[in-house]
Amino acid sequence: METYLKRNNKKWIPLAFLLIHSVAILIFTRGFLLTRTELPFHSTCSDASLSPCLSNSDHNHNQKQPKCWTKPVVDRVVIIVLDALRIDFLAPSAFFPEAKPWMDKLTVLQNLAFGNESSAKIFKAFADPPTTSLQRLKGLTTGGLPTFVDVGNSFGAPAIVEDNFINQLVLNGKRLVMMGDDTWTQLFPNQFHKSYPFPSFNVKDLDTVDNGCIEHLFPTLYKDDWDVLIAHFLGVDHAGHIFGVDSMPMINKLEQYNKVLEKVVDILESQAGPGGLHENTMVIVMGDHGQTLNGDHGGGTAEEVETTMFAMSTKRHTPSVPPEFDTSSCKQDPDGKKICISSIEQLDFAATLSALLGISFPFGSIGHVNPELYALSSSSLNLDNIELGNSGTQPAVNEWMKNYVNVLCVNAWQVKRYIDVYSNSSVVGFSSDDMSRISNLYSAAEHHWSNSIKHTLMDNDGNEDSTNTSALKAQIAAYLSFFSSVAELARSKWTEFNLTLMITGFVMLVISLILQSLAIFHGDKPFAVDSGLSTSAAFSLFIVLIRACSFLSNSYILEEGKVANFLLATTGLIKLRYSLMSKTMRKEAFIFLAMVSVLRVSIDIGLTKQAATSQFMSSSPTWMLGLAPDHPALTYASEIAPIVSVAVLICVLYRGIAKTHSEGIWKYVTVGSMLNYFLIALLWASESKIFVLDGFLQVIGGRNIIPQTVYAIGLLQLFLLASAHMFCAGKDKNWVIRAVALVSACSSPVILLSGKQGSMLALAYLLAGYCIMRLEGVERSTKSDGQNKFSKLDPLCVVQWSLLSVCMFFASGHWCAFDGLRYGAAFVGFDEFVLIRQAILLTIETFGFSIILSVFGLPLLIPIISQTPQAHGEKRHMLFQMYMLYGVISATTVTATILCVTIHRRHLMVWGLFAPKFVFDVVGLILTDVLICLASVYYL
Amino acid sequence: MKEAKKKKKKSETSIGVSRNGSISTVGVLSVYLINGLFLAVGFWVARNRFLVDLVSDPSLTLFLLWSIEFPVVVIIYSFLRKDPEKCSCSKAVGRSILGLISGAFMNALGAIALGAPIGAQYLPKTIHWSLLMSVFTFVPATVVFGASLTDWHRVFASMKPSGNIEHMILVPAYGAIIGGWFGAWPMPLDWERPWQEWPICVCYGAIGGYIVGQIVSLCLMLFLRKHKSLKVA
């Protein structure tokens, strides 16, 4: 009875840890991985009739062009993006405590902004983290706050599927020209009328993108075949990354830009006369984010989020904004002149530009039309028919406010619509408190609108009085408070980490780690400290801790495969020393080291693949074959070797079942895997050119038949194993045969999905695992204390097994990034896309070797010797301990990763490197826990 | 023996060594000092005669280091060799060369298993590095023990050295290996320093570990002697 209880107990413990880990990770993720659902809706011109605002017809029938949501106020827009433009690159040095060498270099813009007769302005622009170019461009164009995980993102491709400013321009028949950073063409593959993209990934190249931009910019400015021009310069960003802000290349870059911008302004002004190409053009020079003095960006520090924007309209007039809505801060410049810069949020960029160009606002935009930027052009709007030169006076201000309040009305309606739709359709929407607060603000503003302002505006009789003015101001203030509370809510939801949740999750994981370590000794007799064992345990602890600490540095995460391999080889050398000492198993120790060397070559190949796409790694191939990649001998070898290794695997399995005197279901399952291996070999042989099996695939009916058969046989095997476990439980206590059956059943789909390298890796894995098993306890046998060998667990061999599985993950060509997933594997055997099925296949491919096979194969590490029945109970206990230890090792690394992302949550690479690593680790840990549960049900 | 007399200039060595192959602590210290001196000479030659250092030309520097250190080590340790009567000096030199090459091979294999880069441009660096490591680890042992497997096994595998000579072979050798192992740690970091390249920092680590090993072995000898004398008393 007691043993029965104990046995059940052991099955529940892994489940308990699965639950604890899931809860802890869920809590942490809620605090760290901010998610947002992308909505597939788009705004159209006709939507505006649903709004309570003034409709098109009654206000504007005398215009030739039908207006969309708002009246267009500029005809063309030139957007020049200078990547990583700090605020102090553009704003005069008078605004900063001390003048630095890199300040006051863009003098042409400063002169324009602070000149007497110009409609130009410098803004301090606030970006929202993450301050990386791609996320910022997404934010600027959609008017939203992109997060790390925008749910609904298309598989792999970064193209923006949400409604955005560029998309709206295309829908409204505007023609776009783009030049510079090729991120734009990745985000908007089809939207540009003309594009001149240049590669942006080479950080050390300061000039290619900029020169390409300059080359195309000036000719394009003279053409009339576009409405919106986007030129994205990268030099400042790259100079910052390589040399830092306080460096000569940076200053040279800024001086170069000054010349370019001077020429741009000259061209525009030369064409700005009545009837000219640029009669009513707006020029915007802006940064997408700032940078620190070292040139880093990505996080949320003031230096990174404070960027700048310069806006100028070619139509000259003095902007008139009521002082209540003026955000400018002013200083005295050295000459004693008063100079002012205003401020703007990048969030408002999409809405403001949409209003200026008179197109419908992007559906998901939560920004509002910035009064000062809007006023730069729009104050001229209705003044043409009033007296020119009278702007800035009370009637002009009133007229502008009337126009602006109507724009805000549409804007508020659009934001409210988005918030409502979002909270209805998203899985994790806003809380009802927040929603009701926002609804109240909105309904108050709207009530005010429909009751009073609308009529005032409708009258349009031109007699302004002070009550009117104050009513308009109150209305604008009501809208602005609505907008600011929406933005605040959105920020808290989408850009701010919840540190409390993160720490709670972390602490829970640490507690579970302690509990799990205690569980290793669960039911153990007061364990005698054996000197051989304790050195081995201390060494295991040392290795695990080194690996955990290595996650605190981004460099070690990038080269995680190499680190794991280094540690694995170290354990191999230690084992070699022990085996030399005891003069046993020397062959195994050497074979193990040889297998580690094979794996490291494979890891190196994987790293070069990773370096090709990673933005953080320089690709330096550390090894080279003397042969050309298409050498016939090499192709021949690469075709033959996988098939030979499958044949070897079949032989190994055959010998495995021939040796053990076992009958029944386990044997049939193993035979099934042999059949599967054979099918895989057949598939590869028929796909390659050197065997004359071309017609074979047609005969059997397509290349999908064999993979599907393999999956079917695999499922059948698992089903048989499960039913055998249920119905003949307790009959066959021999795990070796059961483990062989289970592992071989799982391995065939894994090998198939991994492609041709799969079989070779499986062979290397098998050999290395065999050596680990043989070397288990080699340091103990030297002591030869005559005790029962099963009484104690050798932690080092479990550590080795776990390191080996990590190495397998990297050796099979994976790395912890989303572009490291092999999407092609999801379509082995299937042509059409079904989310669940393909996701399962992708998971099997990604974690097949590193988690599925290694967890199920863990019992194989127990030496086969001594199958006596009295040893069985102890062996079962040992197996339980091994599973717990394996779980502790996995959980330790994940805890270290979590600690690392908590520390580095504002690091430059948090979204590029740490967050993907976190996602992979967490998924891996949950999968490990689930599989440990299944395995302990199956084996214990 | 003839050769030994010819190289009489290291008089202090002959003072320290008694006929039965044991050596006093002072003798050990002087051996270590000579080792360190010639290591420094190697660096000096590289820097002033050839105008290179480990960072600018690792292969040449390593070559200079091991080719200067190797004869010194062979000469010093051949005074300490076991059963000098049976084994002539030329034989000792011959087996030391054999030990140098096989030791280099073992070191290179270990380094590659641990992740040393493989490829044509790294080949000379790896070869010279492993030769230097071999001078630190294998050569003294081959000179002293020869092909006596039992001695090798006792000292290196079981780590049960007896006497000062075995201590001074074992501890610095392990020091060099462990130092090299730690020296590999900064390699993946993104500091973009030239010394992070293979095998520069591993060399520094190994040399540092070797020196620490020498100091530790000296301390061990002093401690053991005191212990013994205490026991005797």
For residue A391, the model assigns a pLDDT of 43
Nearest to A562 among B115, B120, B158 (CB): B115
Nearest to B119 among A562, A572, A624 (CB): A624
Question: CA-to-CA distance for B225 and B233, rounded, in angstroms?
Answer: 12
> pLDDT digits over A532-551, tens only?
567 788 888 999 999 999 99
**C-beta of residue A775 within 8 angstroms of C-beta of residue A589:** yes
* Domain spans, chain B: 24-232
**Angstroms from A618 CA to nearest CA on chain B:** 10
For residue A402, name the pLDDT band (cuts at 50, 70, 90): confident
For residue A559, name the pLDDT band (cuts at 50, 70, 90): confident
Is A565 within 8 Å of B153 when comparing Cβ atoms? no
- What residue spans of A33-69 are helical by DSSP H? 56-60
**C-beta of residue B189 within 8 angstroms of C-beta of residue A555:** yes
Q: Which residues contact B73 (CB under 8 A, 6 or more apart)?
A: B35, B135, B139, B140, B143
ipTM tops the 0.85 cut: yes
Higher pLDDT, A677 or B230: A677
Question: CA-to-CA distance for A54 and B63, rounded, in angstroms?
Answer: 86
For B79-185, strand residue ranges (E) read: none
**Angstroms from B186 CA to nearest CA on chain A:** 10
Instruction: Kindly state the percentage of chain A with pLDDT values over 90.
Output: 24
For residue A784, the model assigns a pLDDT of 47
Q: Is the model's pLDDT at A364 over the cut of 50? A: yes
> pLDDT digits over A220-261, tens only?
999 888 999 999 998 898 888 888 888 899 999 999 999 999
**Angstroms from A633 CA to nearest CA on chain B:** 20
Q: Say if residue A130 is preceded by a cis peptide, omega within 30 of 0.
A: yes
Nearest to A593 among B113, B117, B158 (CB): B113
Q: Which of A460-474, A480-494, A720-734, B121-135 shows the lowest per-residue confidence on average (mean pLDDT)?
A: A460-474
Interface test with A, best of B122, B123, B149, B190 (most A CBs within 10 A): B190
Residue numbers in A near B184 (CB within 8 A): 566
User: Reduced to 3 states, what is the DSSP secondary structure of residue A292?
Assistant: coil
For residue A809, the model assigns a pLDDT of 93
Instruction: Kindly state the percentage of chain A with pLDDT values over 70.
Output: 83
Residue numbers in B near A563 (CB within 8 A): 188
Mean pLDDT over all residues of chain A?
A: 81
Residue numbers in B near A553 (CB within 8 A): 189
For residue A764, the model assigns a pLDDT of 92
Nearest to A570 among B122, B181, B189 (CB): B181
Residue numbers in A near B197 (CB within 8 A): none
For residue A509, the model assigns a pLDDT of 94
Residue numbers in B near A570 (CB within 8 A): 114, 181
Q: How many CA atoms lie within 13 A of A311 on its CB side?
A: 25
Is A569 within 8 Å of B114 when comparing Cβ atoms? yes
**Angstroms from B199 CA to nearest CA on chain A:** 13
Residue numbers in A near B156 (CB within 8 A): 580
Q: Is the model's pLDDT at A793 over the cut of 80? A: no
For residue A639, name the pLDDT band (cuts at 50, 70, 90): confident
Is A572 within 8 Å of B184 when comparing Cβ atoms? no
The pTM assigned to this predicted structure is 0.76
pLDDT by residue for chain B (233 residues), tens digit each? 333 333 333 333 444 444 445 678 888 888 899 999 999 999 999 999 888 888 888 999 999 999 999 999 988 888 887 766 666 777 778 888 989 999 999 999 999 999 888 877 888 999 999 999 999 998 988 888 877 778 888 888 777 777 788 888 889 999 999 999 999 999 888 787 888 888 899 999 999 999 999 999 999 888 887 777 665 55
For residue A156, name the pLDDT band (cuts at 50, 70, 90): very low
Q: Is the model's pLDDT at A432 over the cut of 60? A: yes
Reading the block at residue A877, the tokens are 């206990």
> pLDDT digits over A568-592, tens only?
999 999 888 888 888 877 888 999 9
Q: How many CA atoms lie within 13 A of B184 on its CB side?
A: 19
C-alpha angle with apex A678: A677 to A683, nearest 5 degrees? Answer: 95
Nearest to A555 among B117, B156, B188 (CB): B188
Reading the block at residue A424, the tokens are 């209805």
Residue numbers in A near B190 (CB within 8 A): 554-555, 558, 616
Nearest to A566 among B156, B184, B190 (CB): B184
Closest by CA position to A760, among listed A863, A864, A658, A637:
A637
Q: Is the model's pLDDT at A895 over the cut of 90? A: yes
For residue A787, the model assigns a pLDDT of 46
